[in-house]
Amino acid sequence: MNRDDFRAGLRGGFPIMLAASPFGALFGALAVDNGFTIADAVFMSATVYAGASQMVGIELFGNNVQPWLVVLSVFAVNFRHVLYSASIAKYISHFSFGQKLLAFFLLVDPQYAETEQRGERGLPVTFAWYLGFGLVIYVPWIINTLVGAIFGQLIGDPKSIGLDVLLPIYFLGLVLGFRKRDRFLPVVATSAVASIAAMHFVGSPWHVSIGALAGILLAAVLPPEHRLQQGSTTVEKEA
Amino acid sequence: MDAQHLNLIYLIVAAALATFATRFGGYVLITQLKRIPPRLEAALNAVPAAVLTTLVAPAFVYGGFDVAVSMLVAFAIGMRFSTLRMLVVGWVAVMVIRHVIL
């Protein structure tokens, strides 16, 4: 393995790691607040390793949503990764099978964006570079989760220090991150109305699946705004 | 470890497998399929915003006055700035409402 490539990867991933750190800590604190132990929170960060969906997972778990629906929601929020792995397939075809497995495990939004850019510019995407970039984000993500979870355990009433508003605001930020996408407004408006109505008439947790389904069906039925160009898969902001 | 906690461990493992499936799935898909049908692509494209909206809208409507106001403030910030700033400003807003105004 090439040490220079590995170091270049470490350097490239470093600013991303700094930007993601508060979110790792936030996840740890909110996970404990939603009934996780410190070990559970760390275990989730180490195995799922997808910030937004981890937040969704703890939010639904804290609201006693059925497990299959929690897993389905995590799957849905991470669905964009299907596009990522399809898109970078051509740049990592020289990886061995084991290297590919590890590469896909580490495929978070910035990892995708950097790999895509590197490949497009004709720079070699070596496994050493990919691993360096991935590990400098992955390892601190776990450590920050631990720190946040320990802090979360020290807090008595999360509401008195305003922790309870952070998840809805975080999710709002993620929704806004998608606002350049096709059919954003009709999809969001439909899912909003449907989930509010479902919360009132059916009750939690069904508002998640009913609201999401309404927006997704609308997107499938509406005529397309414009043809998507190949390779136009965009990266949304995510922790 | 009691049964309920064991269920949480299973849940996390299932979530990890589901996430890995999305990260590996596209690679499998691209080597099998040549093109994704446009309506399916449109539907898939809408999935994350649709799911996340269902976690935002009911919290805004049923979460109480303090939560709704801080979400509005955060929304205004989010149109221009990063998610991190939304969190900081939204948090300050809810603390002011709870501890200073109310």
8 Å CB contact between B31 and A89 = yes
3-state class (DSSP) for residue A64: coil
Q: Is the pLDDT of residue A164 over 90?
A: no
Verify whether the Cβ–Cβ distance B53 to A214 is below 8 Å: no
Verify whether the Cβ–Cβ distance A176 to B48 is below 8 Å: no
pLDDT given for residue B40 in this prediction: 79
Residue of A18, A73, A169 to mutate, testing the B interface (most B Cβ within 10 Å of its Cβ): A169
C-alpha to C-alpha distance for B57 and A210, rounded to whole angstroms: 13
C-alpha to C-alpha distance for A111 and A239, rounded to whole angstroms: 12
pLDDT given for residue A115 in this prediction: 92
A76, A165, A207: residue with CB nearest B47? A76
8 Å CB contact between A118 and A125 = yes
C-alpha to C-alpha distance for A61 and B7, rounded to whole angstroms: 11
C-alpha to C-alpha distance for A48 and A46, rounded to whole angstroms: 6
Q: For B6-32, what is each residue's pLDDT tens digit?
A: 999 999 999 999 999 999 998 888 778
Query: ipTM higher than 0.85?
Result: yes
Q: For A197-223, what is each residue's pLDDT tens digit?
A: 999 998 877 888 899 899 999 999 998
3-state class (DSSP) for residue A219: helix
Shortest CA gap A224–chain B (Å): 8
Q: For A36-90, what is each residue's pLDDT tens digit?
A: 999 999 999 999 999 989 999 999 999 888 899 899 999 988 887 887 888 888 8
Q: Is the pLDDT of residue A1 over 80?
A: no
C-alpha to C-alpha distance for B72 and B66, rounded to whole angstroms: 10
Contacting residues of A for B5, CB less than 8 Å apart = 37, 40
Residue of B28, B83, B86, B95 to mutate, testing the A interface (most A Cβ within 10 Å of its Cβ): B83
Residue of B23, B35, B96 to mutate, testing the A interface (most A Cβ within 10 Å of its Cβ): B23
3-state class (DSSP) for residue A78: coil
Contacting residues of B for A174, CB less than 8 Å apart = 48, 52, 83
Average of pLDDT values for B77-98?
Answer: 93
A43, A173, A193: residue with CB nearest B83? A173
Q: Which residues of A25-44 are buried (b: 16+ CB within 10 A; e: fewer)?
A: bbbbbbbbbbebebebbbbb
Within 8 A by CB and 6+ apart from A71, the residues are B11, B14, B15, B18
8 Å CB contact between B54 and A135 = no
DSSP A227: P
Cα-trace Rg, chain A: 19
8 Å CB contact between A30 and A55 = yes
Q: Which amino acid, B93? A: A
Verify whether the Cβ–Cβ distance B48 to A107 is below 8 Å: no
Among A residues 186-215, those touching chain B with beta carbons less than 8 Å apart: 187-188, 190-196, 199, 204, 207-208, 210-215
Verify whether the Cβ–Cβ distance B83 to A187 is below 8 Å: no
Verify whether the Cβ–Cβ distance B91 to A162 is below 8 Å: yes
Contacting residues of B for A194, CB less than 8 Å apart = 54
